[in-house]
Amino acid sequence: MNGADSVVECLLREGVDSIFAYPGGASQELHQAFARSGKVRVILPRHEQGGSFAAEGFARASGKVGVCMATSGPGATNLVSAIADAFMDSTPMVAITGQVFSKYIGKSAFQETDFFGMTLPIVKHSYLVLNVHDLPRIFKEAFHLARSGRPGPVVIDIPKDVQQARFRPVFPATVEFKNPYVNEVHHAADEPLRQVLALIAQAKRPVLYTGGGIVTAEAHHELRAFAERVNVPVATTLMGVGSFPETHPLSMQWFGMHGAAYGNWAVDQSDLLLCFGARFDDRITGDVNKFASGAKIVHLDIDAAEHNKNKRVHLPILSDVKYALARLVELATIDKFTPPDTRAWHEQINTWKRDHPFDSSAGFGKSPHILPQEAVATLYELTKGDAVITTGVGQHQMWAAQFYRFDHPRRYISSLGLGAMGFGYPAALGAKVACPDKHVIDIDGDGSFVMNIQELATAHIEKIAAKAMILNNQHLGMVVQWEDRFYGSVRGNTILGDEKNVGSPDNPAGLYPDFVKIAEGFGVKGRRVIKKSELREAIQEMLDHDGPFVLDIIVPYTEHVLPMIPAGKTVKEMILK
């Protein structure tokens, strides 16, 4: 077979059934190979960035490796944002790119870029394949690297002559690396785990701080068993949303810049902080020197590079978190561990929860307009929490996490480390391909949604019934919030509509653009809703529709996401109203 056919065979051997791929001159051989095979669903996005974000959504929803493909030069460079996003959020992804003929590499050939070089800072590994015989081994290695340890993106750049070259492939059954760190699955020894239990036994105000590592490791059942066994409250990061049931009495939902006030206070006042599968991101810590300053900190993570990188800790533990949590429960039984008396601590947290909830009242009944928080809360009620939610980036991203409760992992899919606008709808397409029997709804802002609006065509042609619920305030809402709070409300290019006739719930004639007409142009059903009395019925119509749907909900731009800890500040400077 030729190199391109071997690529298809490699993907089949890795269990790949769907990829998101946009063709071009340097990747045409690969597309021809997929057409000959017919065994892999090739989904054509309308922009390479849309396809790569869709591959991420597929990976985040399924736990499998997402695969995207593009041609050389501009096709490849359009993948960069998603590759960086996958790197930041530890998403397993393989990006395949066509490259110019080997003899032209380095000679500024048409549509040539050094994609290998330019992606090195944002991948787990990059390959430039110069020998066709290396393809089977490289694909085996790439998928292993993408999904193992701390997952992430891998790039495979394949020149056109390598795709065309004929050879007799040898497909390896296993993969081996000279670096033992790559091969080894780290399991914590019992001694440091017993130290963790000893620290809990001495604590008065313990808190579990858990992140996306719990989701990646499929360790949510073990986390719940451990938290209940030691009776320690749990606050997650946004990447960890759903790793612990948010309706559980021990849950403090998520904390950080816009997280629950009670979760932030609990972490700040804790005397023992158990950080499992998280990385002390700046949106969590604020002023890192003052973060959990009175606590002994345990950091359990699969990536040794994260230990003491952002925050010095008392006990770093290198381990697969699923194993460590299960073993902690076993050791607690073996050692007849008795949880400490933390009744006063739990009472304090419950008082904070009662007095400072996410503002679910938020004036819903008082405002004559649909508030964005109300739209998310209504969606939660109508779906009974049983949906996969993707988001763009901005205020809507935070409101989605605040007002939609997540009791299961892989239900909140958002660009969190990189914060890439335009992520939401393509990610919803990928998530819907991964979860065809679930509602998948992109809660988006008008600014984010328009960045990859062309993927409505993909939804229509490929019959992918992903929904979009736009919280349309005609502004770049999160930047406007910062303008209001820190820049005297001076508008620095944050109005998205016509500045002479800014659309609003009170001025629907000025709304721009008309997302319903745009959706209809792509063959997708759309509806605009302005009146509060029509909100519930409109969301139900979206849910009942059997294809893709755009629901354009007009909301005021004056709403702010609260609580808010200003960047680089501390919990003591939290803005509550």
- Active-site annotation holder among 110, 171, 177, 486: 110
Beta-strand relationship, 412-413 and 18-21: unpaired
Catalytic position from the list 111, 195, 348, 454:
111
Query: Does the CA dihedral 300-305-306-310 come out positive or negative?
Result: positive
Sheet containing 549-554, strands listed edge to edge, beginning at the edge strand earlier in sequence:
412-413, 387-391, 439-445, 467-472, 549-554, 525-529
3-state secondary structure of 298: strand
**Residues 52 and 76 sit within 8 Å (Cβ to Cβ):** no
Active-site residue, 559 included: no
Of the residues 64, 124, 140, 160, which is catalytic?
A: 160
**Residue from 433, 496, 509 nearest 470 by CA:** 496
Active-site annotation holds for 48 = yes
User: Which one from 14, 48, 306, 455 is the annotated catalytic residue?
Assistant: 48
Let me know: does 274 contact 298? Beta carbons within 8 Å: yes
* H or E element, residue 252: strand 251-254
CA atoms within 13 A on the CB side of 276: 33
Euclidean distance between CA atoms 500 and 507, whole angstroms: 12
CA 25 to chain centre: 32
One-letter identity of residue 390 = T
Q: Encoding tokens for residue 447?
A: 């600014």
DSSP secondary structure letter of residue 509: G
Q: How many CA atoms lie within 13 A of 126 on its CB side?
A: 17
Report how far residue 437's alpha carbon sits from residue 458's, in angstroms, rounded to the nearest whole number: 19
417 to 238, 406, 409: CA distances (angstroms)? 10, 20, 18
**How is residue 119 written in tokens?**
């992606």
CB-based burial label for 293 (10 Å; 0-12, 13-18, 19+): exposed
Pairing of β 439-445 and β 387-391: parallel
- Answer yes or no: 311 catalytic: no
Cα–Cα–Cα angle for 515, 517, 518, rounded to 5 degrees: 60
Q: Are 424 and 442 in contact (CB under 8 A)?
A: yes
Query: Is 160 among the catalytic positions?
Result: yes
Residue 206: its H or E element: strand 206-210
Q: Which residues pair with 318 in a beta bridge?
A: 301
- Residue 449 appears among annotated catalytic residues: no
Pairing verdict, β 549-554 and 467-472: parallel
> d(Cα 302, Cα 321) in Å, to the nearest integer?
7
Q: Are 241 and 254 in contact (CB under 8 A)?
A: yes
Q: Which residue is associated with the tokens 């990829």? A: 19
Q: Which residue out of 421, 478, 542, 574 is catalytically annotated?
A: 478
| Residues annotated as catalytic (active site), given as ranges | 48, 110-111, 160, 478
